Amino acid sequence: MAPLKVGDKLPEGVKFTWAPILEEDPTVCGRPQEFDANKEFAGKKVVLVSVPGAFTPGCQAFHVPPYIQKLDELKTKGVDAVAIIAFNDAFVMNAWGKVNKAKEPVYFLSDDKTQFSKNYGRRDGTISYSENEPNPGQVTVSGADAILAKL
């Protein structure tokens, strides 16, 4: 699949694997299940953030936490959900979400089938912002502040 551009539609059939964070027992992982992005995000404004891997230094220190910390600001801009996507398996993504104290509507999704690995931004199925970081290890165009400025 070619990288998505602003104005593109999210291709049909993009699916992730998701292990829900169980609030009743945070030491237990939810059973991995299919997460159909087209179905789950239909009619919603969703910020999709694709990262190279869970727990990587830049992603954990600078990229992901601001999305959780600024969730209320994102919601005031009409964002319904935030999805953090990496190639790691659903159990690792679940653990990463727990470490960051994430709760719905922040989803830590596994792109273990690599159907969706380099695409950012979606508004009701249409890409509204798409950028790739020009310098690996630095968070500039894909950070929470950059997204808030574009909403």
Would the pTM of this model clear 0.85, i.e. be above it?
no
Q: Report how far residue 124's alpha carbon sits from residue 106's, in angstroms, rounded to the nearest whole number.
A: 17
Model pLDDT, residue 138: 81
* Domain boundaries, given as residue ranges, for the chain: 15-150
Spacing of C-alpha 73 from chain mean position = 16
Average of per-residue pLDDT across 10-33: 86
Which residue reads 């964002």 in tokens?
Answer: 79
User: What are the phi and psi torsion angles at 13 (to 5°)?
Assistant: 85, 10
Model pLDDT, residue 45: 92
Model pLDDT, residue 151: 83
Choosing from 37, 59, 64, 71, which is the catalytic residue?
Answer: 59
29 is catalytic: no
Q: Which option is the CATH number for 15-150: 3.40.50.2300, 3.40.470.10, 3.40.30.10, 3.40.190.10?
A: 3.40.30.10
